[in-house]
């Protein structure tokens, strides 16, 4: 998240003061509530370009990034007839969720060094720190592939649609299994391959109802939570034995 803040500060420093007001954006909801029946939902990111230039090509890129987490990637090898973990890399401060939508493919919007500068695109996701004794790039790529299979990383090259010359919208999936916490929805306005404006909006994913109370109980009193679950298992097992005994 610190790198994201630094990138947004860089945008503010590198664009003219009158251009910084050209982009206005928002989201359809600022909180996603997760309960036991949650199977996923979508949020809509919308916005407008105010005072557009009569010349030049405008592009919009929308990024939804979840809370950073430390992740360990292990490489399995076939040794003596069994699979064992041989190598591993710990990638620190990687986004737990990352989805990007744009008006066009990223390589047609800006040069690769510009995308890397602002960490735009799956190829530009880099950990804050790498702990590994080996070349870590294969581990980073393996993590991204795994997250894409889980539905937690994704991209939509034509996911941002201009409904009118200055109005745009994008639909972003929030699948089941996303971690709770604060997300950031960042909208970039590109003109002729350069970032001229950016806006960030927080999005909160949280549990509700019984799930939230159990989650808070497990975090605040882990010992009591563990003992309670063991006690409940014993009680349910005892009740089940009585029921089956009477059935016999």
Residues 105 and 223 occupy one common structural domain: no
pLDDT at 34: 84
pLDDT at 75: 78
Residues 151 and 212 occupy one common structural domain: no
Q: With a cut of 70, which residues of the chain have pLDDT below it?
A: 1-21, 77-81, 83-85, 209-219, 225, 245-248
How far from 13 is each of 22, 58, 109, 184, CA to CA, in Å? 15, 20, 21, 20
How far from 169 is each of 19, 20, 29, 213, CA to CA, in Å? 21, 20, 14, 35
pLDDT at 15: 53
Residues 195 and 185 occupy one common structural domain: yes
pLDDT at 17: 46
User: What span, in angstroms and rounded, lies between the C-alpha atoms of 151 and 157?
Assistant: 16
Radius of gyration of the chain (CA): 23
Residues 200 and 238 occupy one common structural domain: no
5-20: pLDDT as tens digits = 555 555 554 555 444 4
Residues 198 and 232 occupy one common structural domain: no
pLDDT at 18: 47
pLDDT at 107: 94
| Helix 209-220 × helix 222-247 angle, to 10° | 120
Q: Quote the domain boundaries for residue 225.
A: 208-248
Residues 59 and 80 occupy one common structural domain: yes
Residue 97 near residue 64 (C-beta atoms within 8 A):
yes
Q: Is the pTM of this model over 0.85?
A: no
């Amino acid at each position: 998240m610190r790198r994201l803040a630094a990138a947004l500060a860089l945008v503010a420093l590198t664009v003219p003061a009158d251009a910084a007001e050209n982009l206005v954006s928002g989201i359809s909801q600022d909180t996603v509530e997760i309960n036991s029946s949650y199977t996923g939902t979508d949020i809509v990111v919308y916005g407008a370009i105010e005072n557009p230039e009569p010349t030049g090509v405008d592009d919009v890129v929308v990024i939804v990034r979840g809370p950073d987490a430390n992740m360990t990637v292990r490489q399995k090898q076939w040794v003596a007839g069994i699979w064992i973990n041989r190598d591993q890399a710990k990638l620190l401060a990687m986004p737990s969720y990352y989805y990007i939508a744009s008006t066009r493919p990223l390589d047609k919007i800006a040069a690769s060094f510009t995308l890397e500068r602002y960490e735009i695109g799956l190829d530009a996701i880099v950990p804050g720190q790498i702990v590994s004794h080996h070349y870590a790039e294969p581990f980073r790529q393996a993590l991204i592939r795994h997250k894409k299979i889980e539905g937690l990383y994704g991209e939509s090259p034509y996911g941002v649609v201009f409904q009118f010359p200055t109005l745009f919208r994008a639909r972003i999936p929030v699948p089941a299994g996303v971690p709770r916490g604060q997300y950031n929805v960042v909208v970039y306005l590109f003109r002729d391959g350069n970032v001229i404006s950016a806006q960030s909006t927080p999005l909160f994913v949280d549990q509700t109802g019984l799930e939230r109370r159990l989650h808070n109980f497990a975090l605040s009193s882990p010992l009591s939570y563990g003992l309670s679950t063991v006690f409940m298992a014993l009680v349910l097992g005892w009740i089940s034995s009585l029921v089956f005994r009477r059935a016999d």
